[in-house]
Amino acid sequence: DGGITQSPKYLFRKEGQNVTLSCEQNLNHDAMYWYRQDPGQGLRLIYYSQIVNDFQKGDIAEGYSVSREKKESFPLTVTSAQKNPTAFYLCASSIRGNQETQYFGPGTRLLVL
Amino acid sequence: AQSVAQPEDQVNVAEGNPLTVKCTYSVSGNPYLFWYVQYPNRGLQFLLKYITGDNLVKGSYGFEAEFNKSQTSFHLKKPSALVSDSALYFCAVRTNSGYALNFGKGTSLLVTP
């Protein structure tokens, strides 16, 4: 899992509640990503950021928000608008460039109470 | 759109036998292809990638993959499987923009003693 940390490992959300997942990296990578993993569906891209103060929507951005105020941090907020948030969330980072390898954090499992 | 397909949900192999996990791709332009492995409740670990050059790519833990342009395939292989290789394997391709990855649905590899 390299120099990428995600917290918490497990997170419980109540109906109507916003929750924030933390992702921090000490690899000096410019680019960071959030993926959602559901059984049998592989990973799907939520948001990505290529540089500080800039981010772009991925394939399933609805109900999620992000910020990128610091190079090493890319928090993901799961809002109440996300009606089916139960999943395993993975953060990744890489050097900018389409040949570069992405490195993943250990993940956060989000469950709805 | 750049995409990959993993036609097998599960692959079973006996320890000591060779293993192959299949992946086919569909891209416009040059394909940048990756293999990752995931152990239960963990993040993804990078195994290897194909960018250009030699069609046989060697990676971590004794794995290798063969890029075949005519068959649009990038199969993962290992000459002699270990029980500890049992895990979920993902093939991925770089997207055209933003440097994110499109993942296959994953193949569960079970190596029996």
Give the pLDDT mean for A103-111.
95
Verify whether the Cβ–Cβ distance A98 to B100 is below 8 Å.
no
pLDDT digits (tens, 9 = 90+) for B39-71: 988 889 999 999 888 999 999 999 999 999 999
Q: What percent of chain A has pLDDT over 70?
A: 98
Give the residue among B25, B36, B20 at the shortest CA–CA distance from B77. B20
Q: A1 falls in which pLDDT band (50, 70, 90)?
A: very low
Burial of residue B7, with CB atoms counted within 10 A of its CB: 0-12 exposed, 13-18 middle, 19 or more buried = exposed
Most confident of A88-92, A99-103, B49-53: A88-92
Give the residue among B25, B87, B21 at the shortest CA–CA distance from B50. B25
Interface of A with B in 86-105 (CB under 8 A): 88, 90, 92, 94, 96-105
pLDDT digits (tens, 9 = 90+) for A15-67: 889 999 999 999 999 999 999 999 888 899 999 999 999 999 999 999 999 99
Q: How many CB pairs under 8 A join A and B?
A: 66
Pick the more confident residue, B92 or B42. B92
Position B97 pLDDT exceeds 80: no
Strand partners, B4: B25
CA–CA gap between residue B7 and residue B4 (Å, rounded): 10
Which of A41, A88, A107 has its CB closest to that of B105? A41
The pLDDT, as a whole number, for residue A18 is: 94
Position A98 pLDDT exceeds 80: no
> For tokens 């395939």, what's the residue?
B73
Count of CB atoms situated within 10 Å of the CB of A35 = 28
The pLDDT, as a whole number, for residue B99 is: 74
Q: What percent of chain B has pLDDT over 90?
A: 79
Position A2 pLDDT exceeds 60: no
